[in-house]
């Protein structure tokens, strides 16, 4: 099946379903640019279709790469599209809906952060909220961290209503489909882009690791286990009990 990029954007869900039955070739100006294909567990799709553009992050237990694209192509794909995407190191990721365990942890974290930052100049924001970051090599990236603490919103709020700065603190909650990206790609991205502190929340083993970045390096890090309270390096007094974050949601 062959479909142009505009039709794909307008009916993406339909073509994801059709891709389970046959390959869907995507064209732009009559030229093939990408291919939607059924995924195969345990095998990287980038080894099979290196010319494709999108990384599919599904609710299943894998995280597959389909190749590179430009930032302009990412903007074209996501324009007026209700699906959620991230763009990291030239790769497009489509984000799956989070599970209950993930949302329960996020709710508890946001509640703690909201209470702590009441009356303070910084504010916590939860996904979906686009953050555009540039690395030291000037690579443009667009991410939707689970939670971000922003302290310079007034100075960096664009006329289009989007935030243009760098968060002081970012939190990502791991899932089986995102753990590699969160542990490696996003850690490097946040460090290079100027984020001061990065929390990795792991519901799988009920741990929270807090990284402190300085001069494009990891200055310090601490891993907190269930029963302890995670402490912020940057914000004195910010403390989150892990038994609350990882409490059963039912």
Q: Are residues 114 and 234 both part of a single domain?
A: yes
User: Which tens digits make up the pLDDT trace of 29-76?
Assistant: 877 788 877 654 333 333 433 334 444 443 333 233 335 788 888 888
Residue 10 is predicted with a pLDDT of 64
Residue 56 is predicted with a pLDDT of 47
Residue 44 is predicted with a pLDDT of 34
Separation between Cα atoms, residue 226 and residue 206, nearest integer Å: 6
Task: Please give the residue range of the domain that contains residue 191.
Answer: 100-245
Give the residue from 95, 86, 40 showing the smallest Cα distance to 189: 86
User: Which tens digits make up the pLDDT trace of 193-232?
Assistant: 999 999 999 998 999 999 999 998 999 999 999 899 999 9
Residue 176 lies in a domain: yes
Helices (H) and strands (E) in the chain, counts: 8, 16
Among the candidates 51, 70, 94, a domain finishes at 94
The DSSP bridge partners found for residue 87 are 92, 142
Domains held by the chain: number: 2
Residue 11 is predicted with a pLDDT of 65
Residue 250 lies in a domain: no
Q: Are residues 90 and 109 both part of a single domain?
A: no
Q: Are residues 118 and 227 both part of a single domain?
A: yes
Q: Are residues 176 and 231 both part of a single domain?
A: yes
Q: Are residues 88 and 122 both part of a single domain?
A: no
Residue 73 lies in a domain: yes
Q: Are residues 19 and 127 both part of a single domain?
A: no
CA 139 vs CA 6, 100, 148: distances in Å: 26, 34, 21
Among the candidates 94, 110, 140, a domain finishes at 94
Separation between Cα atoms, residue 51 and residue 71, nearest integer Å: 16
Q: Are residues 83 and 128 both part of a single domain?
A: no
Residue 222 lies in a domain: yes
DSSP letter for each residue of 90-133: TEEEEPPPPPHHHHHHHHHHHHHHHHHHTTSS-EEEESS--EEE
Q: Are residues 108 and 30 both part of a single domain?
A: no
Residue 208's CATH number:
3.90.1570.10
Give the residue from 130, 116, 153, 118 showing the smallest Cα distance to 237: 116
Q: Are residues 134 and 240 both part of a single domain?
A: yes
pLDDT band, residue 20 (cuts 50/70/90): low
Among the candidates 94, 111, 145, a domain finishes at 94
Q: Are residues 58 and 127 both part of a single domain?
A: no
User: Which tens digits make up the pLDDT trace of 105-140?
Assistant: 999 999 999 999 999 999 999 999 999 999 877 889
Main-chain phi, psi angles of 158, to 5 degrees? -75, 165
Mean pLDDT, rounded, of the chain: 82
Residue 107 is predicted with a pLDDT of 96
């Amino acid at each position: 099946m062959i479909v142009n990029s505009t039709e794909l954007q307008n009916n993406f869900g339909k073509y994801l379903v059709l891709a389970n039955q046959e390959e869907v070739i995507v064209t732009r100006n009559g030229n093939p640019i990408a291919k939607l294909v059924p995924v195969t567990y345990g095998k990287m799709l980038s080894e099979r279709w290196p010319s494709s553009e999108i990384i599919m992050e599904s609710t299943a237990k894998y995280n597959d790469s389909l190749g590179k694209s430009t930032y302009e192509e990412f903007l074209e794909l996501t324009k007026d599209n209700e699906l959620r995407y991230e763009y990291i190191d030239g790769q497009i990721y489509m984000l799956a809906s989070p599970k209950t365990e993930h949302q329960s942890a996020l709710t508890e974290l946001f509640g703690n952060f909201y209470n702590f930052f009441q009356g303070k100049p910084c504010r916590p924001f939860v996904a979906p909220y686009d953050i555009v970051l540039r690395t030291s090599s000037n690579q443009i990236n667009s991410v939707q961290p689970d939670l971000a603490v922003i302290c310079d919103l007034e100075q960096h709020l664009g006329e289009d209503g989007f935030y243009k700065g760098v968060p002081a603190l970012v939190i990502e909650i791991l899932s089986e489909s995102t753990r590699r990206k969160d542990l490696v790609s996003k850690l490097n991205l946040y460090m290079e882009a100027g984020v001061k502190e990065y929390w990795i929340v792991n519901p799988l083993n009920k741990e929270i690791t807090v990284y402190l970045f300085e001069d494009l390096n990891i200055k310090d890090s601490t891993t907190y286990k269930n029963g302890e309270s995670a402490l912020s390096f940057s914000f004195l007094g910010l403390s989150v009990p892990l038994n609350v974050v990882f409490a059963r949601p039912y």
